[in-house]
Structure 1
Amino acid sequence: MRILISADMEGATGVTCTADVVPQTEQWQRFRRMLTADVNACVAGLFDGGATGVLVNEAHSAQRNALLEDLDPRARMLTGRHKPLSMMQGVDSGVDGVVFLGYHTGAGAEGVLAHTYLENSITEVRLDGVAASEGRLNAALAAEHGVPVLLVTGDDLTCADAGRYAPRAERVAVKECVSRYAAVCKPPAVTGQEIAAAARAAMAHAGRGHGDACAHTVEVDFDATHLAAAAALVPTVELAAPRTVRYTAESMTEAMRAFKVVTAIAAGAIDGIYG
């Protein structure tokens, strides 16, 4: 049984603010170790539960955060940009399950450092009419490849969100959201044990099933009209409202590739503090 870990950072143990996850800050250096500890706890639990191989896909920002030198030697790490399937690179390689580690809630929702791809310019993303976090988007992509979501870790609201898009997955709340930039946090000695135990239990649900590609419609709400106008220049993407774009793709894989382009174009249209 081979398992993919998609490792984000906002939902890692102890993370609560911007400096914790922005490269080159003192706090980021500290929380790289926390993230790596969460990953290692998960790897240990997966192997205890019967995994024969684990690939860790770095999924946060520049995707060079976890410390390779401290990684459990039984695992391998996919690090760096640019990956065709981004956070989910490797899901199409025959893996038998995926873990969403260090995840967070979506744009416009409550939760520690909540966002969807862009940190503060998207106010909501909808997949087939349903508000979608990165977790929901990535779960739909995993389902297309017949890969079950085994475990989700993050704050308590992230775990509640996961209960809606991956109800059979194990969930570990490493912190309790107080506000966007505050949380009641468990220490790593505790979260490590909880993540390892959940990963071990989650292996009972591992096993690739039958994937099914179908069309999906994605809508993205921005906080400014010029961002939507810029994104609407992408072929197949239409301006659905002054601050909203919409497109339909023939598969979730294509939908996520288009989403990467839409967010990249919008990010390029942001101009200083006025957005």
Structure 2
Amino acid sequence: MKLYLSADMEGISGIVDPTYINPGMENYERGRQLMTGDLNAVIEAALECGAEEIVVSDSHHTMNNILLEQLHPKAQLLCGTPRDFSMVQGLDSHFDAALFIGYHSRQGAPGVLSHTMTGVIRNMYINGQLVGEFGFNAIYAGLCGVPVCMVSGDDQIAAEAKQLIPQIQTAIVKKAVSRTAALCLSLEDSRAELRQKTKEALRNLSACAPLRTETPMQLTIEFAHTGEAEMAAIIPGSTYEPGTTRATCQVRDQYELYRTMRAMINLAATVPYV
């Protein structure tokens, strides 16, 4: 069994505010320790279930957060940036399943440190379906023929994931109180939850099908202001919807989807707010 672990940071055990996830801030080194510990719990459980190859994709910010020297030796670590396909770089049909660890809810929704990709995005839609980072990456995985069988994070990302993939296992390691506060399980209980849900997901993998999405797809991003949308729409094949903050583009497949999204948000980010 070959597994792909995409690891974000906002949904990791004990992490509640930006000081844990931004390099140079007072709790960042603690955040790295917590992130690596959560992953080790998942990896240990996966190995017990017969996993033979495990690839961990560091998928937060600069993508250099996981402590390789403390990561379980049976896992391979993909780290560093840029990557064409960012949080799911290297994910393809050769993997039996994907697990999304430390994920968070979408921009505008309740949940610890909720957002979608960057600060320029207000909402993102694929074929009219509102998605955050979980949904976007799950669609990519599904088009590769890979099921996303487990997600970990707070109670809000668990609910968001269940709406898209009802059969997914959810490891809830904290309950959101506000965007920067949560009721956190002890690390002992959190790691036990991660191990248990990983085992349940992998032992019942046949019940979790890849997320299906019709292609070609329509990608629509609602930006913070019209200038960002206008700039994003200079990509060939894209259109700006006058009177809105939206830019839309038709894409053929998951690869074009990811590259187009990255290009649109990078262009939008060049436009000053004032």
Same fold (TM over 0.5): yes
Cα distance in 2 between the residues matched to 1:148 and 1:29: 32
Q: How does 1:35-50 map to 2 (within 5 A)?
A: 35-50=35-50
TM-score, normalised via structure 1 length: 0.93
Partner of 1:236: 237
TM-fit CA distance, 1:113? 0.9
Amino acid at match of 1:129: G
1:192 aligned counterpart, secondary structure = helix
Q: How does 1:105-124 map to 2 (within 5 A)?
A: 105-118=105-118, 120-124=119-123
Give the aligned CA root-mean-square deviation in angstroms: 1.8
Cα distance in 2 between the residues matched to 1:152 and 1:170: 7
Q: How does 1:4-19 map to 2 (within 5 A)?
A: 4-19=4-19
Amino acid at match of 1:160: A
TM-fit CA distance, 1:253? 2.2
Q: How does 1:13-92 map to 2 (within 5 A)?
A: 13-92=13-92
Cα distance in 2 between the residues matched to 1:132 and 1:267: 20
How many percent of aligned residue pairs carry the same amino acid?
31
Amino acid at match of 1:182: A
1:26 aligned counterpart, secondary structure = coil
Cα distance in 1 between the residues matched to 2:248 and 2:213: 23
Unpaired runs of at least 5, structure 2:
none
Give deviations 1:130-182, integer Å, cap 9, x for gaps.
11011111111111111011110011010001101122221011111111111
Partner of 2:193: 194
Q: How does 1:140-219 map to 2 (within 5 A)?
A: 140-206=139-205, 214-219=215-220
Conserved in 2, the CA contact under 8 Å of 1:155 and 1:174?
A: yes
Amino acid at match of 1:102: G
Cα distance in 2 between the residues matched to 1:209 and 1:156: 22
Amino acid at match of 2:7: A
Conserved in 2, the CA contact under 8 Å of 1:11 and 1:102?
A: yes
2:27 aligned counterpart, secondary structure = helix
Count of aligned pairs: 271
Conserved in 2, the CA contact under 8 Å of 1:213 and 1:252?
A: no
Conserved in 2, the CA contact under 8 Å of 1:152 and 1:171?
A: yes
- More displaced stretch, 225-234 vs 95-104: 225-234
TM-fit CA distance, 1:26? 2.2
Conserved in 1, the CA contact under 8 Å of 2:8 and 2:60?
A: yes
Partner of 1:97: 97
Matched, 1:246 2:242: no
Conserved in 2, the CA contact under 8 Å of 1:177 and 1:184?
A: yes
TM-fit CA distance, 1:213? 7.2
TM-fit CA distance, 1:90? 2.0
Cα distance in 1 between the residues matched to 2:171 and 2:197: 7
The verdict on how the C-alpha distance between 1:212 and 1:225 changes in structure 2, with shifts beyond 3 A counting, is closer
TM-fit CA distance, 1:209? 7.6
TM-fit CA distance, 1:93? 5.8
The verdict on how the C-alpha distance between 1:209 and 1:189 changes in structure 2, with shifts beyond 3 A counting, is closer
1:201 aligned counterpart, secondary structure = helix
Unpaired runs of at least 5, structure 1:
none
Conserved in 2, the CA contact under 8 Å of 1:144 and 1:213?
A: no
Conserved in 2, the CA contact under 8 Å of 1:213 and 1:251?
A: no
Cα distance in 2 between the residues matched to 1:64 and 1:155: 23
Conserved in 1, the CA contact under 8 Å of 2:4 and 2:57?
A: yes
Conserved in 2, the CA contact under 8 Å of 1:47 and 1:200?
A: no
Cα distance in 2 between the residues matched to 1:77 and 1:264: 26
Cα distance in 2 between the residues matched to 1:143 and 1:123: 24
1:73 aligned counterpart, secondary structure = coil
2:269 aligned counterpart, secondary structure = helix
Partner of 2:258: 256
